[in-house]
Structure 1
Amino acid sequence: MDEYVSRSTLADVDIPLLDLPSFWFSRMNQIHAFATDESPRPVFVDGKEGSMEVLFLKRMHKLCTQLASGLYHELGVRNGDMVAVVLPNTVYYLVVTLAIQMIGATCTPANPAYTADELAFQFRHSGTKYVIAASTVLPIIQAAGSAISYPDHVLYISCADDASMDRPGPRSIFRVLSDKPFPRFQPRTKAELQNAAAFVCYSSGTTGLPKGAVLSHYNIVANILQGIAVQSHMSSSRYQRKTLAVLPLFHSFGLVLMAHSLPLCGSSLVTMSSFDMSQFLRIIELHRITDTLLVPPVINALAKLPLVEYDLSSLKWIVSGASPLCTDTIKALELSFPHIHVMQGYGLTETSPGLSLNSPHCRNIHSSGSLLPNLECTVVDDYGTRLKPGSSGELCFRGPNIMTGYLNNRDETDRIIDSSGFLHTGDIGHIDAKGHVYVTDRKKELIKFNGFQVAPAELEGVLMQHPQIKDCAVVGAFCVKRQTELPRAYLVLNNSGLRSDDVAHAVLQWANARVAYYKRLRGGYVLALDHTDPVHVAIIADPQIVDAYSYNQSGLLLRLTEFFTDIYMRKSYTALQQLQQPPTIIFLGDLMDGGREWAHTDWIKEYQRFLLLFVNRKPKSTRVYHMAGNHDIGIGNTIVQNALQRFHEYVGPTNQILDIGGHQIILLDTLTLESDNKDVRKSTQQTIDWLQTERTEMQPKPRILFTHVPMWRPPNTNCGPLRQTPYAMLSRSGYQFRDQLFQNTTELLLNAIQPHAVFSGDDHDTCTISHVIPSTNKMVTEYTIGAFGWASGVPIASYALLTLYPRSSNNTSFVVQNCFLPYQLGIYQCYALAFVCSIVLVAICCYHDSNSQSVSALNIEMGLFSHSLPWQHPLPQYAHTLSKHSTVVKRTLLIMKDVAKVGVPTFVACILYFYTV
């Protein structure tokens, strides 16, 4: 017996020596009471509203036989030929595939959303000779099928919007139906069944283009019976079950475990051609759906639905597969819909596809289910050495449902299936003594988007064909909102100094047009630099935009304060980006002054003001991260939980670990860390625990810690020469504020994280001090950054520029520069002084000129003065009258006139210049 091999705890199932069509129809006739036309129970139902398409077993068998005869006699399909099936979900999907297999030909399912290039690759690689497709994709088939005899070797199934059977070109499948006899494919030995390919399903690999997994008749029959053995809940009320077939049937999960298996459990399948949440819910209510198979993003969306207006009481079971499902999502769904139970499964295209499934009578929501019958599992380390049961490593499986191999790719087959017959999944996990399989991580690089496999290497290959791309990398960026990974491209342009968003955007559009919809770069792009170039990070502390909570101001004074402080920060932020062009900007907290106090509607208005000042003014390529400050959410036991939740929802997570410029940038929410509420500090504590574990298990990159509140330091510690206020930082605390973290919190952070540098804010003034890490006695420098806002209590606002270099042997991997902004009050004083001097100078010049003017000339000037002003006022006429009696008054008014001509426009011009610049 093999060492360290776990066998399924379920009894083995007997696998008959039958081809797939013979097995499926014989088993359907045995277990279904509706095997005649008299029964009202259909096998397949079109779920589209208003559709009357249904398939009963007797008609389905007849259509399969007639289509197989037509394929043989009309198209010339023979045993061993490859037929591509390019269809969305339809009641006729199994009719097509079973008819092809009756002849002994092989089906290669393809996504109807594929581009012409992707279909062309699959056609060429698989050796496709014939195609059966949806009528809507015929133009793409024609563009892709250079090796296909178009239209002679192409059949179509009409869609609802294209029902004509008399179109020129390819024929409808219903035009080739025949009753002529044909040679049935009926292998008799196990070896024949194991070598006869039923499907070639293309699975994205990590080493380039997709690979065709050859699944034999024996593989598929085995996996159908393995799945039925676990799904015992179906047999208890066999003839009341209805399953909503929303998973794509061109995917092995939907094709085998849903379309082939569930009808054999007595369930009617109601098909959806594409997913729409409203239609999904409406079909459940209309058809009284009892079961469905879904991928995690759909389950997550279902769990987050508000009050549902549809009756979902009939839905009892949801089977989840294609990617791991979070246990919190399961709990949330079952809390919202107590009558629904979720069962997780696990498998691969290469395993036909099922490997494990939770049993309804023995459900473990933390696992991916029990190992299916007839299967063995072992766990290996990075060197291929088998580990003891319960150990974590790469999961490997052996059994009758393991694929024959990759089509025309012996090297990859030998790489994934070892000499003992175990298939190496590339997934990390373990199996317990009860046979429950746990998948905890992924060793291979595949991105899972909504259950679809996306190979980074394939997308990178597409991107590298663009002339503007010097280098690229594609990774999966997990989206919390959508509960799935999104492909994201990191691009190095041929001229990286340009950092052109227009070029990058054009490259993404170009690449997305060349791949299927699920492979598109929905995660966006990041313009990267060459690995040798320094990376600049601008650090902005405490913008703390002024609001009604700032100084108990109201009315005009508050509006003026907001107006001038906003102008100052907007100008400074714009200049920062124009002069230094940092690709990353980090805000160190206290985004708004009264953020934690505002009611939701008022907070939204202030947040929009913040976005207008900062976020909306950045280039698309600039990455901006925000930390929470005590003015945003509170601190310690005074954390305002509504404000914390609001910050998460609108601004982003308060704990983040970033990889920037070869450094690990840690944005840590130390405000919640000092709370006695475990739920409040849970996220921060988990982040610290992970960082500590990573540090002990591997050599992490240089770490730089960011915290809003500065770390504890002894009293009267000198903050250095750049500080503007008294030289030492105070140690005060009060309602919703604390000048420093507690000493024990500081020691905890230094020991657990062991950062190379620390950046903090909150104090509003600069401070540079050194700390000693207690566990190592190493020195680490903390840089407290001055406030970016003008009304923060320090004369000169500032920010910091952190420049990150590739890690070097002497650890000089970063440089910090404090950047001080102009003294704004001094600028205003200069404006005022210049204005007063201008007025005095104009007045002196006007007074000197007036002495040489005669009284008559003065009177004429007075007349002109009265008509030259842009407004009418009785003052000039009154002054003209007085001029007859007082030359002094006339001279004074003459000076006022000249001042008005010169000084007022000058003043207005200054104001406009100041506002715009």
Structure 2
Amino acid sequence: MVKLYRSRFPDIDIPKTGLIPYLFENPYGIPESKPLFIDVHTKETRTFGQIKDNVLRLAAGLQDMYGFGQGDVLALFAPNSVDFVLPALGAIAAGGVTSPSNPRYSVTELVHQLQVSNAKILIAHPDNIQVALEAAQLFGMPKRNLLVLGNASIHDVLPFTVLLQARRAIVAPLTAEEAKSRPCYLCFSSGTTGKAKGVMTSHTNAIAGTALFMTLEDHNEPNVNQRHGLNFLPMFHMYALLIVLHLSLRRGTPVDLMAQFDMNVFLNTVQQRRITHAWLVPPVILALAKYPQLKTFDLTSLTHVFSAAAPLSKEVSEAFAVQFPTVFLSQGYGMTETSPIATIELLNDTAHGSCGVLVPNMVARLVKEDGSDAQLNEPGELWLKGPNIMLGYMKNEQATVETIDADQFLHTGDVAVVDDKERFYIVDRIKELIKYKGFQVAPAELEGILLKSPLVSDCAVIGVYDPVQATELPHAYVVLKSPIDAQHMNDTAKALMAFVANQVASFKQIRHVRFVDTIPKTASGKILRRVLRDQVKQELHASSTPSSKL
């Protein structure tokens, strides 16, 4: 018998409109002059009125200079900044799609995203313009279609400000059906087959993800007028894009932006700016809990911390609670494919290690390997259905069919348990992705690179949890083509790690190498990663073997 879990909250009405009207309709009466995005480093600000005006002016520039419109894609290759929002929403206002990419991508990784998305425009950052130039050339994009953030040309690449026209684009209205079927974002999510897949997020998906999160946020803290956020999470990631950026524009919540996490900058900003809300990931939560100088800062303004992107263990949440007894730490669960939220912890209904309860409008199943439904406190793969579930993967019908079934349930690949209060816990993962500090790393991609080395005969990569950093680390098991003696193992391991590091973004780098005689595989040749994970567990209680660590 099928066992369905439904949210304890009633369904909400999802606005039947496009994303831009939803974000700028201003139901909370935000003053045009109110600063919403503040750069922690440069102190630059962007007000609600400036953002709205410049998004429409940039949309007009895309239309007038490039004929950009429905079905066209703008790739945004940039770190956090107060101007990130302008191309991110300007492309959507012009009728097209925004595809944000990791600003640390290598040329090869960026080319892959440009090819899958068939991007018409690429906007980069001064820090990665050289990578953008090489990727655009390999992809075949005309140089005039490459722009750079800021006000100055770099390497003859024009600044994105040339798009800011005197006229403002008129956003074409969407019917309810068009809003459901047209993508507005194309974020990339790693899969077990190796390279990242483009997740097609519709206007309705994006609105639903924002609205559902807001509903439970209001439940946890109704007073929205006193919120002041601090965000260092990358805005190319669906977590910050839909939760931080969208909520700031919808509610009028000011957000101080950091390009990346720095402990002292973070703590000083909380103290000086009287930050009330922060969006974090488990490794940072652990670092805060263990920071020896924590008591030298006045952090009394901080009331809420939201954790997502990777599982938050019971041990880490307990350690944080000791140091921050008055801060409500809420864990959520979701994926890029769920836009990006599915569950959230509730105030006064928390349990260490739980990722909370289902948000409204969502239905879940927990399915065991034999296809039967798991009962309470019994593990099963988490399946989800709701208005926030993606349209599918761009140019990858097979992966879409394998992920979303005929009943429209998304098979997450994560193993969950539900307790008697219908709180969810993520306890394992069927899929093979490694979660390194919130980023997804596909073992198959790293294995493919390692196998190109003339030193390597065979290999396997798995994620091994490191309690010190509160994250999984990519471990490589390598069979060498020629044996080496013990004194050369360390140098060889470092050489292999460097070989991979030169071809991938920093978060994908292999952190450990272990040399083995064989890789455990099935008769059909599939790597038995669970065997390797079991070996790691056994080795925790045994003596160390030859390995290298960065």
Contact map agreement 1:429 1:439 (CA 8 A) in 2: yes
Counterpart position of 1:436: 423
What corresponds to 2:279 in structure 1?
A: 293
Contact (CA 8 Å) 1:241, 1:266: kept in 2 or not?
A: no
2:417 aligns to what SS in structure 1?
strand
- 1:314 matched residue in structure 2: 301
Q: Work out which of the residue numbers 47, 58, 61 in structure 1 matches 2:49.
A: 58
Among 107, 118, 121, which residue is 2:109 paired with?
Answer: 118
- In the TM superposition, 1:205-224 aligns within 5 A as 205-224=191-210
Report what 2:408 is aligned to.
421
**Contact map agreement 1:234 1:265 (CA 8 A) in 2:** no
- 1:385 positional shift: 2.8
1:305 counterpart = 2:291: yes
**Structural RMSD (CA):** 2.2
Displacement of 1:35 after TM fit?
2.2
Work out whether 1:35 is the aligned partner of 2:31. yes
Alpha carbons of 1:457 and 1:198: their partners in 2 closer, same or farther (altered >3 Å)? same
The verdict on how the C-alpha distance between 1:304 and 1:412 changes in structure 2, with shifts beyond 3 A counting, is same
- C-alpha deviation, 1:476, in angstroms: 1.1
| TM-aligned CA distance change 1:124 to 1:531, over 3 Å | closer
1:245 Cα deviation after fit: 1.1
Letter in 2 for 1:291: H
Match of 1:128 among 119, 124, 130: 119
Structure 1 contact 343–365 (Cα < 8 Å) conserved: no
For 1:152, which of 140, 144, 154 is the aligned residue? 144
Which blocks of at least 5 consecutive residues in structure 1 are unaligned?
Answer: 159-163, 533-656, 669-705, 707-801, 803-917
Once residues 540 and 304 of structure 2 are traced to their aligned partners in structure 1, the CA distance between those partners, rounded to angstroms, is 41
Per the TM alignment, residue 390 of structure 1 is displaced from its structure 2 partner at its CA by: 4.4
> For 2:513 and 2:433, how far apart are their aligned partners in 1?
18
SS at match of 2:411: strand
Q: Work out whether residues 231 and 360 of structure 1, in 8 Å CA contact, stay in contact via their aligned partners in 2.
A: no
Query: How big is the shift at 1:166?
Result: 4.5
Distance 1:504 1:440 in 2: 32
Equivalent residue number for residue 518 of structure 2: 530
Shift in Å at residue 664 of structure 1? 5.5
Match of 2:504 in 1: 515
Partner of 1:458: 445
Structure 1 partner of 2:338? 351
The within-5 A match list for 1:217-366 is 217-232=203-218, 236-308=222-294, 309-366=296-353
Q: Tell me, yes or no, if the aligned pair for 1:9 and 1:434 is still in contact at 8 Å.
A: no
Structure 2 equivalent of residue 472 of structure 1: 459
Counterpart of 1:198 in structure 2 is 184
Q: Is the 8 A contact 1:5 1:378 kept in 2?
A: yes
Report Cα offsets for 1:473-531 as digits up to 9, x if no partner: 11112212111111111111111355643333222211111000100112x20111136
Is this contact kept in 1: 2:48–2:249, CA < 8 A? no
Q: Percent identity?
A: 33
Q: Deviation at 1:156? A: 1.3
CA gap of 1:312–1:665, structure 2 versus 1, over 3 A, is closer
Report deviation, 1:430. Answer: 2.2
Residue 180 of structure 1, CA deviation: 3.1
**How big is the shift at 1:386?**
2.7
State the distance in 1 between where 2:485 and 2:457 align: 13
3-state secondary structure, aligned to 2:27: helix
Distance in 2 between residues matched to 1:407 and 1:130, nearest whole Å: 18
Could you tell me which amino acid in structure 1 is paired with residue 340 of structure 2? P
1:376 corresponding residue in structure 2: 363
- What amino acid maps onto 2:2 in structure 1? E
Q: Is 1:175 paired with 2:138? A: no
The residue that corresponds to 2:548 in the other structure is none
Which protein has greater RCO, CA pairs closer than 8 Å, 6+ apart?
Answer: 2
> Which residue of 1 is the match for residue 5 of structure 2?
6
One-letter code of the match for 1:30? P
Report what 1:765 is aligned to: none
Shift, 1:367, TM fit: 1.3
Distance in 2, matches of 1:166 and 1:119, equals 21
CA distance in 2, matches of 1:188, 1:369: 34
Cα offset for 1:262?
A: 4.3
Q: Distance in 2 between matches of 1:338 and 1:100?
A: 43
Instruction: Decide which of 131, 134, 144 is 1:140's aligned counterpart.
Output: 131
Residues 796-875 of structure 1: pairs in structure 2 closer than 5 A: none
Structure 2 equivalent of residue 483 of structure 1: 470
Q: 1:354 & 1:154 partners in 2: Cα distance?
A: 33
Aligned to 2:436: 449
2:507 alignment partner, SS class: helix
In structure 2, relative to structure 1, the CA distance for the partners of 1:233 and 1:10 (3 Å cut) is closer
Higher-Rg member (1/2): 1
The gaps in structure 2 that reach 5 residues or longer are 521-532, 546-550
Residue 235 (structure 1) shift: 5.8
Q: Deviations over 1:568-614 (max 9, x none)?
A: xxxxxxxxxxxxxxxxxxxxxxxxxxxxxxxxxxxxxxxxxxxxxxx
Of residues 92, 95, 113, the one that matches 1:101 is: 92
SS of the equivalent of 1:237 reads coil
Write the distance in 1 (CA, Å) between the matches of 2:403 and 2:124.
32
User: Do the aligned partners of 1:246 and 1:273 also contact (CA within 8 Å) in 2?
Assistant: yes
Using structure 1 for the length normalisation, give the TM-score. 0.56
Structure 1 residues 375 and 433, CA gap change in structure 2 (3 angstroms): farther
Take 2:448 and 2:481, find their aligned partners in 1: how far apart are those partners?
16
Change (3 A) 1:148 1:97: farther
Q: Give the Å deviation of 1:665.
A: 6.2
Distance 2:100 2:439 in 1: 14
1:764-810 deviations in Å (ceiling 9; x for gaps): xxxxxxxxxxxxxxxxxxxxxxxxxxxxxxxxxxxxxx9xxxxxxxx
**Amino acid of the structure 1 residue aligned with 2:310:** S
For 2:539 and 2:268, how far apart are their aligned partners in 1?
47
Following TM superposition, by how much is the alpha carbon of 1:185 offset from its aligned partner in structure 2, in angstroms? 3.1
- 1:95 Cα deviation after fit: 2.0
Task: Tell me the secondary structure at the aligned position of residue 261 of structure 1.
Answer: helix
Tell me the TM-score normalised to structure 2 length. 0.91
- Asked if structure 1 preserves the Cα contact closer than 8 Å seen for 2:220 and 2:346, the reply is no
AA partner of residue 659 (structure 1): Q
Between the aligned partners of 1:52 and 1:176, the Cα distance in structure 2 is 24
- Counterpart check, 1:21 vs 2:20: yes
